[in-house]
């Protein structure tokens, strides 16, 4: 097949060629791109700018019963930086090789999903389909740097509340097997700086109460927890990384020069708390470690996500029932997991809206944020087929 001539592929390539790369993204081309498609499809178009130069784009397809809670199909416009010398083809060329692989930053994360939503809507409207519930397609900024000026702020505004969202879909991950990964929750990010104050002095002495001694105790405590969690993960092949708490030491800083005992040393840990962890108990454990390490050991949070309930995947959730029924009819094998990283879904769930993370990319290596990120054209096109079935299923609940 000559994929380059396929209209849906052409649209995808055009979107991929917009270099909406962090940092300091210029979202103007993305906004113009979606305005063009909204006009073509007869969708209402709105831009919300809560932070200057960081637009939130919303395309809306009004439902037959607009008073019902709506469906939100969310994706982000930004992509992570690239190291061009490590790419086989220019990362914003969207080169299609002889095997049909589309190479571009964002091909998996997550411009594919944003376009699959749009192409599925295009097909449904062409077929004369009417949806019961209103459908909103949102394209948000800055997810790759935490979503703080995008989804995190937006869900708290009147403009978001006016959408009356009852259920949301967002990104998942590729999966190298036949199964499609589906994510109904996320671990909570706790990034902690532990400060160890101690007796300063000359580096040739063995003074008591030094910062280094306290630092060693703190590092040992956190890394022992890391070892314990790794053993749990390794002991059960059914577990994935999202099922355990991960702990990683990411920074150590402090001191003035090599022969001076510092008055303070700081170590930073990136912790991702499993959904089963009691946050109060976890923090009390850290407090006890600091007390054990000695006087003057304190901690502060760079980031601290609150606990958020996972989206139910049982008969109590009618949107899940509709999603699963449509997936079964297409013979899709779903593997329900907890997302290993963080997406904008956490902010949606935080305000009480059920959300699922789903990127229809099976038999595909996981290449988000990697060199030579690609998605095969036939996987992309099949994803449109899948959303063409999933969207009416959830929108007609």
Do 58 and 122 sit in the same domain of this protein?
Answer: yes
Cβ within 8 Å of residue 310, ≥6 positions away: 184, 185, 275, 338, 349
Q: How far apart are CA 311 and CA 203, in angstroms?
A: 54
CA count, 13 A, side-chain hemisphere, 302? 15
Do 177 and 201 sit in the same domain of this protein?
Answer: no
Would you say 327 and 388 are in contact if contact means Cβ atoms under 8 Å apart? no
For 27-80, the pLDDT digits (tens) are: 999 999 999 999 999 999 999 999 999 999 999 999 999 999 999 999 999 999
CA count, 13 A, side-chain hemisphere, 362? 14
Do 52 and 177 sit in the same domain of this protein?
Answer: yes
Do 145 and 195 sit in the same domain of this protein?
Answer: no
Give me 191's structure tokens: 């990034």
Do 84 and 159 sit in the same domain of this protein?
Answer: yes
Mean predicted confidence (pLDDT) in 110-114: 98
Which residue in the list 78, 109, 144, 344 is annotated as catalytic? 78
Cβ within 8 Å of residue 238, ≥6 positions away: none
Give me 31's structure tokens: 């906004």
State the CATH number of the domain containing residue 225. 3.30.70.360
For 197-234, the pLDDT digits (tens) are: 999 999 999 999 999 999 999 999 999 999 999 999 99
For 235-290, the pLDDT digits (tens) are: 999 999 999 999 999 999 999 999 999 999 999 999 999 999 999 999 999 999 99
For 302-332, the pLDDT digits (tens) are: 999 999 999 999 999 999 999 999 999 999 9
Q: How far apart are CA 169 and CA 133, in angstroms?
A: 14
Q: Predicted confidence band at 1 (pLDDT cuts at 50, 70, 90)?
A: confident
Which residue in the list 109, 119, 142, 143 is annotated as catalytic? 143
Residue 347's pLDDT is what? 98
Q: How far apart are CA 307 and CA 272, in angstroms?
A: 11
Do 17 and 102 sit in the same domain of this protein?
Answer: yes
State the CATH number of the domain containing residue 383. 3.40.630.10
Do 172 and 318 sit in the same domain of this protein?
Answer: yes
Closest CA to 344 of 56, 27, 88: 56
- For β-strands 264-273 and 246-254, DSSP reports them as antiparallel
What are the backbone dihedrals phi and psi of residue 243, each rounded to the nearest 5 degrees, phi first? Answer: -90, -10
Specify whether 78 is catalytic.
yes
Percent pLDDT > 70 in the chain is: 100
Do 76 and 58 sit in the same domain of this protein?
Answer: yes
What is the total count of domains within the chain? 2
Residue 186's pLDDT is what? 97
Give me 378's structure tokens: 């036939």
Domain extent for 233: 188-274+276-304
Specify whether 385 is catalytic.
no
Do 285 and 222 sit in the same domain of this protein?
Answer: yes
Of 304, 324, 359, which marks where a domain is finished?
Answer: 304
Alpha helices in 106-259 (DSSP H): 111-126, 151-154, 158-161, 211-235
Do 296 and 315 sit in the same domain of this protein?
Answer: no
Residue that is written with structure tokens 């299609």 in the block: 96
Q: How far apart are CA 103 and CA 92, in angstroms?
A: 8
For 122-161, the pLDDT digits (tens) are: 999 999 999 999 999 999 999 999 999 999 999 999 999 9
Do 264 and 289 sit in the same domain of this protein?
Answer: yes
Residue 326's pLDDT is what? 98
Do 96 and 237 sit in the same domain of this protein?
Answer: no
């Amino acid at each position: 097949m000559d994929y380059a001539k396929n209209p849906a592929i052409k649209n995808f390539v055009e979107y991929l060629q917009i270099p909406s790369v962090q940092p300091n993204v210029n979202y103007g081309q993305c906004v113009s791109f979606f305005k063009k498609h909204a006009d073509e499809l007869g969708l209402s178009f709105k831009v919300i700018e809560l932070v200057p130069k960081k637009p939130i784009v919303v395309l809306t397809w009004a439902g037959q019963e607009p008073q019902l809670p709506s469906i939100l199909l969310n994706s982000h416009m930004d992509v992570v930086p690239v190291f061009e010398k490590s790419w086989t083809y220019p990362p914003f060329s969207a080169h299609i090789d002889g095997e049909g692989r589309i190479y571009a930053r964002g091909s998996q994360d997550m411009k594919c999903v944003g376009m699959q939503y749009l192409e599925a809507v295009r097909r449904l409207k062409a077929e004369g389909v009417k949806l019961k519930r209103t459908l909103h397609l949102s394209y948000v900024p800055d997810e790759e740097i935490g979503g703080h000026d995008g989804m995190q702020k937006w869900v708290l505004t009147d403009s978001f509340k006016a959408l009356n969202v009852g259920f949301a879909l967002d990104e998942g991950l590729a999966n190298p097997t036949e199964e499609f990964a589906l994510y109904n929750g996320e671990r909570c990010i706790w990034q902690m700086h532990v400060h160890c104050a101690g007796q300063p002095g000359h580096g040739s002495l063995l003074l008591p109460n030094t910062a280094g001694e306290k630092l060693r105790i703190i590092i040992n405590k956190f890394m022992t927890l890391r070892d314990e969690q790794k053993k749990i993960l390794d002991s059960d092949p059914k577990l994935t990384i999202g099922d355990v708490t991960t702990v990683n030491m990411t920074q150590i800083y402090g001191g003035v020069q090599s022969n001076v005992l510092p008055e303070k040393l700081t170590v930073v840990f990136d912790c991702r708390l499993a959904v089963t962890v009691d946050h109060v108990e976890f923090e009390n454990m850290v407090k006890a470690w600091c007390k054990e390490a000695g006087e003057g050991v304190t901690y502060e949070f760079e980031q601290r996500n609150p606990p958020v309930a996972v989206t139910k995947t049982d008969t109590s959730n009618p949107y899940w029932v509709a999603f699963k029924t449509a997936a079964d009819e297409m013979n899709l094998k779903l593997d329900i997991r907890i997302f290993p990283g963080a997406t904008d879904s956490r902010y949606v769930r935080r305000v009480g809206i059920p959300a699922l993370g789903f990127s229809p990319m099976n038999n595909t290596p996981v290449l988000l944020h990697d060199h030579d990120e690609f998605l095969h054209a036939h996987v992309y096109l099949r994803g449109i087929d899948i959303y063409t079935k999933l969207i009416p299923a959830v929108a007609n609940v």
